[in-house]
Copies of this chain bind each other. A is one copy, B any other.
Amino acid sequence: MTKKTRLLIPGPTPVPPAVAEVMARPLIGHRTQEFADLYARLQGKLKKVFGTENDVHILTSSGTGGMEAAVANTVNPGDKVLALVTGKFGERFTELARVYGAEVDALEFGWGNAVALDQVEERLKKGKYKAVLATHNETATTVINDIKGIGALTRSADALLLVDAVSSLGGAELLADDWGVDVLVTASQKALMVPPGLAMVSVSPRAGEAVNQARSPRYYFSLAAAKKSIAKYNTPYTPAVSLFAGLDVALDMILAEGLEQVYRRHNTFAAATRQAMNALGLKLVAPETSASPLVTGVWAPEGMNADDLRRKIVQDYGILIAGGQDQFKGRVFRIAHMGYVDAVDILGTIAALEISLAHVGQPAKFGSGVAAAQAVFAGRK
């Protein structure tokens, strides 16, 4: 039976044909006017998506490389850092700051919970921090955090705010300048619809001062080197030019649809997925108030291993959904609805999931999840 591969994992996400096509064209040299024009165009578009007037550096690396650039260039050994941890990626940010010798206070909210602003406020009153690390969209727990609220607090406390928006930017609103984000990091392979290989990092003037005073060893991820090069719309080291070309087309698609509409679309897909899971009697990981618009986490029913379900649905229907990570392993499955995904993908996935659930021994509830999602799409919910 013909079986298409469908990526409903939180990255890499499906690549639109127009993006794939432009990346298959002959390469351009990276020390040419053509490349500088491309990088200049990307700056204009990225500034809109980032909500910033500042430079957005494009690094050839995964999002983790961008997170390392954020930390290595602003945090010195011995600096006090407050890490807001809501899951695996908050833990990674914490670990990075420790690798670079920071004295890190990790404020843990527990897997499945969002950052509680009152606890952050209290901590910032008690201690003086050079920087606060936050995760916008915690893919591991499918929770989205209130960066605007956190930004208001870090501003009052005169701390730098470094934000991992690797899995959210371009799919959920984040206004770097208005919200007071000093370093904002994202990556190509999530809502931005490009294959993995690029990280993007914006740097506020305040963070720029920290970059000038940074003392940790760094070379490839040096934001000082990136700043020097971007003045001529160039990069210090050879960039992944084919991915740059893909990003150019993907950003055109996002801006043509309009950021507001793109955010609305992600919200609708998330609502449809959540309603479907509710209708199937499955428990959601994230509370409704902080549920991610980009990925939905679902608890496996008692006695069912989530990974058995995943194996079944990919085997029968070619649909890749994500499992649980670390403490959620086997207990949770995650359906991503980010980037180049449409309503038919979501409806079809829910329908296939219903069959696969029955195949792994759950009561058959054919059509009930689909009907709940349909109601959302039809505008009834």
Q: Which residues of A contact B (CB under 8 A)?
A: 4-5, 7, 9, 11-15, 20-21, 23-32, 60-65, 68, 72, 95-96, 99-101, 187, 189, 195-197, 216-221, 236-243, 320, 322
Contacts and interface: CB of A to CB of B under 8 A. Distances in A.
B26 A24 contact: no
Contacts of A95: 219
B240 A197 contact: yes
A21 B72 CA distance: 37
Nearest to A245: B195
Given A23-B242, A60-B62, A242-B197, A217 B12 contact: no
A99 B218 CA distance: 7
B62 A197 contact: no
A161 to B, nearest CB: 20
B62 A187 contact: no
A380 to B, nearest CB: 33
Contact of A196 (B101, B240, B320): B240
7 contacts: A12-B30, A15-B26, A23-B195, A99-B217, A100-B217, A195-B242, A220-B221
B217 A217 contact: yes
B27 A24 contact: no
A220 B65 contact: yes
A269 to B, nearest CB: 19
Contact of A219 (B5, B21, B96): B96
B238 A11 contact: yes
A5 B21 contact: no
Contacts of A96: 219
A24 B20 CA distance: 5
A196 B241 contact: yes
Contacts of A320: 29, 32
Contacts of A242: 15, 23, 195-197
B64 A219 contact: yes
B20 A64 contact: no
A9 B15 CA distance: 29
Given A62-B60, A220-B65, A195 B241 contact: yes
A28 to B, nearest CB: 7
